[in-house]
Amino acid sequence: MTKCCRFSCLQGWISKRFYQAASCSSRYHHGAELEAFLRRVHGAYPALTHLHSLGRSVQGRDLWVLVLGKYPTHHKIGIPEFKYVANMHGDETVGREMLLHLIDFLVTNYGSDPVVTRLLNNTRIHIMPSMNPDGFEATKVPDCYYSLGRYNGNGEDLNRNFPDAFELNNVTVQPETRAVMEWIRRETFVLSANLHGGALVASYAFDNGNAATGSSQGYSRAPDDDVFVHLAKTYSYNHASMYKGAGCDNRQTFPGGITNGFSWYQLEGGMQDYNYVWGQCLEITLELSCCKYPPEDQLEKFWRDNRAALLEYMKQVHLGVKGQVLDGSGRPVAQAIVEAVGRSHVCPYRTNEHGEYFLLLLPGTYVINVSATVPGFQSQLKTVEIPDNTANFSALRYDFTFPAVSVRTGAAPCPTSPLYGELGRSAAAGRAAPRGVLAATVLLALTVT
């Protein structure tokens, strides 16, 4: 071993020892403390983490994201992207601290805990502890109920600030929202959760709705409703008490600790629906505490209550099937569309620049139909049996190759307009969907089982 290598190894050992001696404590981390913690983690584990800012808040605070995994700095073909986002409402603080505890748990157990090690080796995990740092700093003292800190520096509710798939909400997109939208556009996120407070429940899409999604019956059903219910139950039943559905202070109860978002209350411009419709990413909303901003001496119990659920939920990114669409020369086909009969999306799921697709599907028998969306190329169909591979940390892999030497698509990106609007008006009037609204989707047909 060279002198340089010995010095470098010694530096790494000292850095980790220093970090472990001052690891995440059960208290609230304000702006400078949060940044210092993230920098300390990255300094101690540079090969396992990547720290960057998505941009700045209204008041100029960084929107920090720590990426963890075997390949933290870049996307690796076949490795799914996962994210947790917290503190979107600045006065809902438990999620912010739970994500710091989660970071600490992952880095300190990598290499010794087999589940953590396999999770990080096979998943790229993005953690955003605070989407609304201005709101957090505006909330001066712990308060269980509604406070000024809910909003960003411009007084806007960030969870009403995204383009809505059902109605034109005419909002001024805030810097924090725009940064997250660009992040979603840039990364191939497959699964996500948004951590809130003020209730104890796992809520899933859709938050908004119309006649096309069955909202007149009080439930706004997404095309992947079965998967969403599974995801919500995964968190609820791995949580210490969420699954009991007891509610808070004799308020509304939630059977099994889960709810359809619209069934709970209608919400337009939410991040959960935006992720699903425009980001090809299934996201649920996790309400982690009846008290929005509880005393910090309760944080350790919150961590014990949520640890298993946070870990098990991340493993669900390995449900279903994944693969690449390639041309006859082995080059990736971007923008090929992959969809499902009975779960066609108004914004069809497309392959990324690497020709990759990721479909979160429950175990069963499926027929995959994939198309390059250009004239002259036939769809390809393949029947596959999808097992539950979450314990193996890899979805079933199946690649498609078009026989032509070169296949390119002209599929345009989905517009940021109320895509479900026309479908809803047609459904309400008892008419068929307008031509082209669901056209050119690639079918992934469920057969049986």
Pairing relationship of beta strands 380-386 and 364-371 according to DSSP bridges:
antiparallel
Q: Are residues 311 and 371 in the same domain?
A: no
- 153, two tokens: 């520096």
pLDDT tens digits, 15-27:
565 566 456 678 9
The model's confidence at residue 342, banded by pLDDT at 50, 70 and 90, is low
The verdict on 364 and 279 lying in the same domain is no
Residue 3 in domain: no
Segment among 32-46, 210-224, 319-333, 337-351 with least mean pLDDT: 337-351
Residues 366 and 282 in one domain: no
Is pLDDT larger for residue 394 or for residue 348?
394
Domain total for the chain? 2
Please tell me whether residues 313 and 391 are part of one structural domain: no
| pLDDT (0 to 100) of residue 366 | 84
Tell me the residue type at 426: S
Work out the average pLDDT over 354-376.
82
Q: What is the CA radius of gyration of the chain?
A: 22
Report yes or no on 65 lying in a domain: yes
Q: Does residue 2 register a pLDDT over 60?
A: no
Query: Nearest CA to 95 among 274, 268, 286, 374?
Result: 286
3-state secondary structure the chain: CCHHHHHHHHHHHHHHHHHHHCCCCCCCCCHHHHHHHHHHHHHHCCCCEEEEEEEECCCCCEEEEEEECCCCCCCCCCCCEEEEEECCCCCCCHHHHHHHHHHHHHHHHCCCCHHHHHHHHHCEEEEECCCCHHHHHHCCCCCCCCCHHHCCCCCCCHHHCCCCCCCCCCCCCCHHHHHHHHHHHHCCEEEEEEEECCEEEEEECCCCCCHHHCHHHCCCCCCCHHHHHHHHHHHHHHCCCHHHCCCCCCCCCCHHHEEEHHHHCCCCCCHHHHHHHHHCCEEEEEEEECCCCCCHHHHHHHHHHHHHHHHHHHHHHHCCEEEEEECCCCCECCCCEECCCCCCCCCCCECCCCCEEEECCCCEEEEEEEECCCCCCCCEEEEEEECCCHHHCCCEECCEECCCCCCCCCCCCCCCCCCCHHHHHHHHHCCCCCCCCCCCCCCEEECCC
Average model confidence (pLDDT) for the chain? Answer: 87
Same domain, 308 and 370: no
295 and 344 together in one domain: no
Residues 329 and 256 in one domain: no
pLDDT tens-place string over residues 300-330? 999 999 999 999 999 999 999 999 999 888 9
**Residue 7: which pLDDT band, with cuts at 50, 70 and 90?**
very low
185: left (phi over 0), alpha (psi -120 to 50) or beta: alpha
pLDDT at position 447: 30
Question: Residue 95: what pLDDT?
Answer: 98
> Quick one: 310 and 234 in the same domain?
yes
pLDDT digits (tens, 9 = 90+) for 282-306: 999 999 999 999 999 999 999 999 9
Look up residue 229 and give its amino acid.
V
Query: Residue 409 above 70 pLDDT?
Result: no
* Shared domain check, 348 and 219: no
Over residues 213-236, mean pLDDT: 95
pLDDT at position 237 over 80: yes
The predicted pLDDT at position 231 comes to 99
> Region 378-389: what's the mean pLDDT?
84
CA distance 246 to 223: 28
Return the pLDDT at 281: 98
How far apart are the C-alpha atoms of 109 and 385, rounded to whole Å? 34
First to last CA, the chain: 58
Contacts of 6 (CB under 8 A, 6+ apart): none
CA 162 → CA 274, 435, 443, distances in Å? 7, 27, 28
Q: In angstroms, how far apart are the furthest CA atoms of the chain?
A: 78
Inter-residue contact 359 to 224 (CB < 8 Å): no
CA distance 405 to 431: 42
Same domain (yes/no): 256, 355: no
Q: Give the amino acid at 296.
A: E
Among 318, 345, 377, give the residue marking a domain's end: 318
Dist. CA 110–CA 309, nearest whole Å: 18
Domain final residue pick, 293, 318, 343: 318
Tell me the average pLDDT across 113-135.
98
Q: How confident is the model at residue 439 (pLDDT cuts 50, 70, 90)?
A: very low
312 is catalytic: no
CATH number at residue 427: 2.60.40.1120
pLDDT digits (tens, 9 = 90+) for 199-223: 999 999 999 999 889 988 899 999 9
Q: What is the CATH number of the domain that holds 287?
A: 3.40.630.10
Q: Judge whether 245 lies within some domain.
A: yes
Instruction: Tell whether 8 is covered by a domain.
Output: no
Specify the pLDDT at position 185: 96
In this model, does residue 252 exceed pLDDT 90?
A: no
Q: Are residue 168 and residue 44 in the same domain, yes or no?
A: yes
Mean pLDDT of 328-353: 84
Q: Which of 268, 287, 339, 356 is catalytic?
A: 287
Evaluate whether residue 38 is within a structural domain.
yes
Segment 59-82, tens digit of pLDDT:
999 999 999 999 999 999 999 999
Q: Containing domain of residue 357, as a range?
A: 321-446
Note whether residue 4 is domain-resident: no
**Is 63 within the bounds of a domain?**
yes
**What is the rounded distance in angstroms from the CA atom of residue 341 to the CA atom of residue 336?**
16
C-alpha 225/C-alpha 20 separation (Å) is 42
Asked whether residue 375 is assigned to any structural domain, the reply reads yes
Q: What is the mean pLDDT of residues 245-271?
A: 92
Q: Which of 318, 351, 376 finishes a domain?
A: 318
State whether 434 and 373 are in the same domain.
Answer: yes
Take residue 227 and report the two structure tokens written for it.
């998967």
Which residue did the predictor score with more confidence, 449 or 36?
36
**Residue 224 pLDDT level (bands cut at 50, 70, 90):** very high
Among the residue ranges 40-44, 177-181, 379-383, the one predicted with the least confidence is 379-383
Give me the half-sphere count of Cα atoms (radius 13 Å) on the Cβ side of residue 265. Answer: 4
Position 338 confidence tier, pLDDT thresholds 50, 70, 90: confident
